[in-house]
């Protein structure tokens, strides 16, 4: 079974769900150690404590999604990537 056989929605959920769980855990750990309301970035803009927790959560979710996407990209076998590149070179004379 190749990556193209997996439905798109399943691939998206395989990226977003683990990153959501990690973002929740990272937010709890980060906000336990640091008070986001006292961080100067949030204090300069007058963001409330709840708003700063929300921003932290979405930033951790973004970082988790980026790392999950990168992992999925590197799971592709090299021969599949090379095959796709060579099939795109229709003018190169290789057939």
Interval 33-50: pLDDT, tens: 988 777 777 677 778 888
Neighbour tally for 61: CB within 10 Å: 19
CA 27-35-25 angle, 5° bins: 15
Average pLDDT over residues 1-16: 82
- Domain range for 28 is 7-88
Predicted local distance difference test score (pLDDT) of residue 29: 95
Model confidence at 94: pLDDT above 60: no
Give the up-direction half-sphere exposure of residue 69: CA atoms within 13 A in the CB hemisphere. 8
**2 domain residue, yes or no:** no
In a domain, 68, yes or no: yes
Give domain status of residue 12, yes or no: yes
Sign of the CA dihedral running 53, 54, 58, 61: positive
Please tell me the total count of domains within the chain: 1
Which pLDDT score, from 0 to 100, does residue 74 have?
84
- Best CA proximity match to 42, nearest among 77, 17, 30: 30
In a domain, 27, yes or no: yes
For residue 89, give the DSSP letter. Answer: -
**Residue 17's pLDDT is what?**
94
Q: How many residues appear in the chain?
A: 95
Read off the pLDDT of residues 35-89 as tens digits, 9 standing for 90 and up: 877 777 767 777 888 888 898 999 999 999 999 999 888 887 777 667 777 776 5
59 lies in some domain: yes
């Amino acid at each position: 079974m190749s990556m193209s056989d997996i439905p798109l929605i399943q691939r998206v959920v395989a990226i977003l769900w683990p990153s959501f769980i990690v973002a929740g855990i990272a937010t709890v750990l980060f906000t336990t150690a640091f008070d986001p309301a006292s961080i100067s970035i949030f204090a300069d803009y007058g963001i409330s404590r709840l708003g700063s927790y929300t921003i932290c959560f979405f930033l951790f979710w973004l970082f988790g999604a980026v790392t999950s996407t990168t992992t999925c990209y590197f799971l592709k076998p090299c021969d599949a990537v090379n095959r796709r590149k060579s099939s795109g070179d229709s003018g190169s004379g290789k057939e």
